Amino acid sequence: MTTPLLSVRRLSVRFLMPGGADIAAVDDVSFDLAAGECLALVGESGCGKSVLAGALLGLLPGNARTRGSALLAPDPAAPGSGARPLDLLAADERTLARTVRGRRLGLVPQSPADHLTPVRTVRSHLRETIRALHGTRGAALAAATEAAAARAAFPADHLDRYPHQLSGGLAQRAATALALVGDAPLLIADEPTTGLDRDLVARTVGELRRHTDDGRGLLVITHDLAAAERVADRVAVMYAGRIVELTPAARFFGTPGPRHPYAAGLLGALPERDFTPIPGQPPGLDALPAGCAFAPRCARATALCAEQPELIEGTACHHLPEPADA
Ligand SMILES: Nc1ncnc2c1ncn2[C@@H]1O[C@H](COP(=O)(O)OP(=O)(O)OP(=O)(O)O)[C@@H](O)[C@H]1O
Ligand code: NI
């Protein structure tokens, strides 16, 4: 087997809060991402998806405490990348800023407006990024800027707009265009289709999928299971900071379907499926129960669920060894 592009082991992130409270935003997460693969990370709001992305990029606030490892494979195309994997969680800020972010690890941020400089146009953002990452100048830079915008379906006649003049969907496309500039071996896209209509979702998803051709990797974080179905090779379902199921997309969306009751509930909530929401709300992350965090919402919960199940055969649920009670 080839070395994965990204290998995350036992990653946990806690936020230390004033007054001594502790928020366990990511809890003991492990997964691999292969070159040429797209992994979709799905789950309800607040389950830790963006914090996981922030940990990989070294973009968490000062009160975050991170444990575990996240090895990024060396990039033969990047000068100074070395011959050994880089542990993103142990790397210093200087290394991350100079050689990793944008170059080896691209990000489409969840709130693109917050990542754009208010006093600069979209054209200026793109030019600056292309010049910094590829050294392009002059007429070639002007052409490369328009080509970069077109890749994310950002309209050329809006390039001279400032961030505050962009709709949510346009800001999203500008952020996607910027993230694609570096052609980084690994791209993390956090809710890249928010605010886009159906056609643009399809275009964005298509462009992201193309990014994984030539052996690049994509970690796409999304609420949009339909978009995940179109782009993902595998699906990781996160609940209350843990991955509860990690399975090939064809099995998840097709046969036999998700195995963890939470994953099954997420899929069943879709309008084109059962259209039945999961009852209740995800738990607060400051006082999680010791056992399965989904048990209070789970129709199949029993006394066993008070124990914490490990991820076995890609799924963390005590009920799986029993025959499915369909
Ligand atoms: N800086 C922080 N300080 C304290 N808690 C935080 C901080 N950032 C995030 N959290 C908490 O971590 C949890 C996970 O947040 P995260 O943004 O990762 O969720 P998410 O799965 O990306 O949800 P969404 O779909 O809404 O983006 C939330 O409960 C949030 O309150
Ligand atoms: Ni998020």
Q: Whose Cα sits closest to atom 7 in ligand 1? A: 15
**Per-residue pLDDT, 326:** 41
Residue whose entry in the numeric block shows the structure tokens 């389950």: 47
Residues in the chain predicted with pLDDT less than 50, given as ranges, are 323-326
The ligand 1 atom nearest the CA atom of 44: 25
Q: With contact defined as beta carbons under 8 Å apart, do 274 and 268 qualify?
A: yes
User: Which residues on neighbouring strands pair with residue 189, listed in sequence order?
Assistant: 108, 220
Q: Which residues partner with 33 through β-bridges?
A: 6
Which pLDDT score, from 0 to 100, does residue 214 have?
76
Q: Evaluate: CB of 23 within 6 angstroms of ligand 1.
A: yes
- 54 in contact with ligand 1, CB cutoff 6 A: no
Report phi then psi at 187, rounded to 5: -120, 135
- Centre a 10 Å sphere on the Cβ of residue 20 and count the other Cβ atoms it contains: 6
Backbone angles phi, psi at 27, to 5 degrees: -130, 105
pLDDT at 3: 82
Q: Is the ipTM of this complex over 0.85?
A: yes
Atom of ligand 1 nearest to the CA of 51: 18
Homologous superfamily in CATH for domain 1-91+223-326: P-loop containing nucleotide triphosphate hydrolases (3.40.50.300)
Nearest CA to ligand 1 atom 2: 15
Distance 46 CA to ligand 1 centre (A): 5
Collect all residues with Cβ–Cβ distance below 8 Å to 307 and sequence separation of at least 6.
290, 291, 292, 318
Instruction: Give the span between the Cα atoms of 48 and 240, in whole angstroms.
Output: 7
Are the CB atoms for 119 and 160 separated by under 8 Å?
Answer: no
| pLDDT the model gives residue 1 | 55
- 15 Cβ closer than 6 Å to some ligand 1 atom: yes
pLDDT (0 to 100) of residue 325: 45
Taking CA atoms only, the protein residue closest to ligand 1 atom 14 is 48
Ligand 1 geometric centre to CA of 209 (Å): 26
Three-class HEC string of the chain: CCCCCEEEEEEEEEEECCCCCEEEEEEEEEEEECCCCEEEEECCCCCCHHHHHHHHHCCCCCCEEEEEEEEECCCCCCCCCCCCCEECCCCCHHHHHHHHECCCEEEECCCHHHHCCCCCCHHHHHHHHHHHHHCCCHHHHHHHHHHHHHHCCCCHHHCCCCHHHCCHHHHHHHHHHHHHHCCCCEEEEECCCCCCCHHHHHHHHHHHHHHCHHHCEEEEECCCHHHHHHHCCEEEEEECCEEEEEEEHHHHHCCCCCCCHHHHHHHHCCCCCCCCCCCCCCCCCCCCCCCCCCHHHCCCCCHHHHCCCCCECCECCCCCCCCCCC
Quote the ligand 1 centre to 151 CA distance (angstroms): 30
The CB of 49 under 6 Å from ligand 1? The reply is yes
- Out of 13, 15, 114, mutate this one to test ligand 1's pocket (max ligand atoms within 8 Å of CB): namely 15
| 61 close to ligand 1 (CB < 6 Angstrom) | yes
Would you state the structure tokens that stand for residue 159, as one six-digit string? 């390039």
Report which protein residue has its CA nearest ligand 1's atom 25.
45
- Between the CA of 298 and the centroid of ligand 1 the distance, in Å, is 23
Model pTM above 0.90: yes
Q: Is the CB of 110 under 6 A from ligand 1?
A: yes
